[in-house]
Amino acid sequence: MKLRLATKISTSNVMMLQGVTGLAFLVLIIVLLCSFLAPWIAPYDPNQINMSERLAPLSSNHILGTDTLGRDVFSRLIYGGRVSIVLALAVTLVTMVMGLVIGTLGGYWGGWIDDIIQGIVSIFQGLPGLAFMLAIAGTLGPGIKSLFIALIVTSWPDFSRVVRGEVMKIREESFVEGIRALGAGHTYIIIRHIVPNMIGPLIVLFTIRIGRVILSIASLSFLGLGLQPPAADWGVMVNDARPYFRSYAHLMVAPGLCIAVVSLCINWIGDNLRDKLDARSSQEKSLL
């Protein structure tokens, strides 16, 4: 009886988790479609200034009202995810490639190469992430270029460390030893056998990192070190709405909610992927 009850509870939990993951995936797809189809969906130009309708309330003409310059908030909200999402994808892709190359070098060759790489990684990881990011962006000046560099410099060590650990496990597998005994070169082993076996963990880390990068972009834009006005960006919108929060709270709540929802959905999907991969690997180990 207890076993049946536990089975029912576990089954219901799995179904609930799958439902939440499906909902997160659906919300993320909707946000992506709205962002990239913004020129055809947005009712107004996001940068069109109309001082006669400054801080207009919610209405049929302006679903979320207008901001301090009379710009339609709903249109800016639709456009707001475009730059952040594209920039987050680009930053995460570049950091993943950097981490893959550096982590593979250290994990596969070991020795003094690995010692040097891990020493550099430890230095970067020992610095406070947000403070280091702010220092780089502040030194280089506000803008997309400095934002891009700051995010890459502070993100690649995590990828490198994960890749190094995976490579060190895979290189000790018997099939790698067999391929090496057959005369295969190091480059062939790395490209054809080691890297393909890291795809699963890399996809999970890539997914989770995108959500963190979106939050970092919004944070730097909010502090004036990222994307600059009049760019239609969620972080910029939150910063612009600060002086009017008490009277027009929706100007800050709407973009802040978008940032939170997108980040949560991406992180939830990444966690679900990680759980599935861990369950699959444990099942494979039990069969061996």
122 domain-assigned? yes
- pLDDT at position 256, please? 87
CATH, residue 216: 1.10.3720.10
The two tokens of residue 205 are 């880390």
CA atoms within 13 A on the CB side of 224: 2
Q: Is the peptide bond before 128 cis (omega within 30 degrees of 0)?
A: no
Query: Three-state SS for 175?
Result: helix
54 domain-assigned? no
- pLDDT at position 205, please? 83
Number of helices (H), then strands (E), belonging to the chain: the values are: 11, 0
- pLDDT at position 17, please? 52
- pLDDT at position 5, please? 40
Per-residue pLDDT of the chain (288 residues; tens, 9 = 90+): 444 544 444 455 445 556 667 788 888 888 888 888 888 888 888 888 888 888 888 888 888 888 888 888 888 888 888 888 888 888 889 998 888 888 888 888 878 888 888 888 888 877 777 778 888 887 887 778 888 888 888 888 888 888 888 888 888 888 877 887 777 777 888 888 888 888 878 888 888 888 888 888 888 888 888 777 777 888 888 888 888 888 888 888 888 888 888 888 888 887 777 767 655 554 444 444
71 domain-assigned? no
Domain count, the chain: 1
Find how far residue 14's CA is from the centre of its chain.
Answer: 25
Query: pTM here?
Result: 0.79
77 domain-assigned? no
Please, is 164 exposed, middle or buried when counting C-beta atoms within 10 Å of its C-beta (0-12, 13-18, 19+)? buried
53 domain-assigned? no
What sign does the CA torsion over 144, 146, 151, 157 have?
Answer: positive
Q: Which of 88, 89, 126, 121 is nearest to 220 (CA)?
A: 88
What whole-number distance in Å separates Cα of residue 185 and Cα of residue 189? 6
- pLDDT at position 285, please? 45
The two tokens of residue 130 are 């947000």
Domain of residue 156 covers 83-287
74 domain-assigned? no
Q: Which of 205, 204, 214 is nearest to 260 (CA)?
A: 214
- pLDDT at position 197, please? 82
Q: Which of 42, 132, 84, 76 is nearest to 260 (CA)?
A: 84
- pLDDT at position 173, please? 80
In the chain, the amino acid numbered 33 is L
- pLDDT at position 12, please? 52
Contact 70, 49 (CB under 8 A): yes
Please, is 68 exposed, middle or buried when counting C-beta atoms within 10 Å of its C-beta (0-12, 13-18, 19+)? middle
